[in-house]
Amino acid sequence: MLSRTADHLYWMSRYLERAESLARMIDAHQRLSLVPRPPEAVAQGWQATLVSLGAAAAFFGRHEALTARSAFDFLAFDRQHGGSIVQCLRAARENGRAVRGTITSDLWETLNATYLESVSFTPAMPESARGEFLEWVKYRAHLTRGVTSATLPRDEALHFTRIGTFIERADNTTRLLESRWRDPGGHGERLRAEASEWAVLLRAMSAFEIFRRLYRDSVTPQRVTEMLLMRDDLPQSVHHCLDELQTNLAAVANSRSDETHRRAGELHARFHFGRFEDFCAEGLPQFFDHFQARLRELGARIADDFLVPAS
């Protein structure tokens, strides 16, 4: 497969995953807004999300006040902000368009239809329809993954698509957790995240029922975090994402990718053989920082080995 083709497939699935994850992040805030809370807590929650996305500076460059509405508009509809949902859907479609000859027409038409529909979503959208918009994003992401899985042959195209999906998901899951652990003002742990916020997070991740079944116990920050980091049988968990990353990297291995594969294995081993208590002892915010840096490094190595190799 052409390196450039692999590159487009990888980014196509990363952007799609990112759009979905953004929808889930926003959804968590929307759900929380139904619980009576002081306005500072609402703003602090959004602030934490923007910081975890690395988008706080961009936000305050375009908005004076952080409100639920302005944050929603910025993360969902802002066409000047490359990290918004509509821009991610557009980027997924543009990457798909660049390889429309390689992917199946079913997949291309799904991406294209998603983009064409997304054009009609703007900040003018009434409050009442906003929940449906988030549902729509999740639905389109589910649909696209389904079409991918049902129509792409089990070859390199699928492997690179999966590598993109799981590296992005691992990253997003840690950002979602991080935003609940970190005090957006300073660098310490954020102690004020309420229990209801963790339950809402589970619901936004479509993991609430699973949590109940697995723990049969009350929702605590530690349990939720442990589950979303350590379980190898949950599609949302970091451990599972690293399993998939390992498998798919092994399937596309080439003459220069040994070191990348080794590092992915090393990172995977921390989750496979490591203990959650040790991560906590390290300090979860520090742990997240460290993990995301390793993931970025892996992304760069994948690019060098496969996607944009120097000749």
User: Residue 174 CA to chain centroid, in angstroms?
Assistant: 8
Give 29's contacts (C-beta < 8 A, 6+ positions apart). Answer: 42, 45, 46, 49, 68, 71, 72
Which helix (H) or strand (E) is 214 found in, with range? helix 208-215
Question: Segment contacting other proteins (CB under 8 A): 98-106, 130-138, 199-207, 208-216?
Answer: 98-106
Asked if 255 is part of the footprint of other proteins (rule: CB under 8 A), the reply reads yes
> From the list 31, 37, 63, 97, which residue makes contact with other proteins (rule: CB under 8 A)?
97
Q: At what angle do helices 156-181 and 3-32 cross, to 10 degrees?
A: 30
Asked if 311 is part of the footprint of other proteins (rule: CB under 8 A), the reply reads yes
Question: Segment contacting other proteins (CB under 8 A): 33-41, 101-109, 118-126, 217-225?
Answer: 101-109
Closest separation in Å from C-beta 112 to other proteins: 5
Which is closer to other proteins, CB of 242 or CB of 252? 252
Q: What angle do CA 193, 195, 199 make, to 5 degrees?
A: 110
> Which three-class secondary structure state does DSSP give residue 10?
helix
Asked if 13 is part of the footprint of other proteins (rule: CB under 8 A), the reply reads no
> From the list 13, 49, 102, 246, which residue makes contact with other proteins (rule: CB under 8 A)?
102
Asked if 106 is part of the footprint of other proteins (rule: CB under 8 A), the reply reads no
> From the list 3, 30, 151, 196, which residue makes contact with other proteins (rule: CB under 8 A)?
3
**C-alpha span between 169 and 72 (Å, rounded):** 21
Question: Interaction with other proteins in 149-168: which residues (CB under 8 A)?
Answer: 156, 160
Which is closer to other proteins, CB of 153 or CB of 186? 153
**C-alpha span between 266 and 10 (Å, rounded):** 22
Asked if 188 is part of the footprint of other proteins (rule: CB under 8 A), the reply reads no
Q: How far apart are the first and last CA of the chain?
A: 15
Asked if 101 is part of the footprint of other proteins (rule: CB under 8 A), the reply reads yes
> Which three-class secondary structure state does DSSP give residue 256?
coil
Q: Which residues bind other proteins (CB under 8 A)?
A: 1-6, 94, 97-102, 105, 108-109, 112-113, 116, 156, 160, 252, 254-255, 306-307, 309, 311
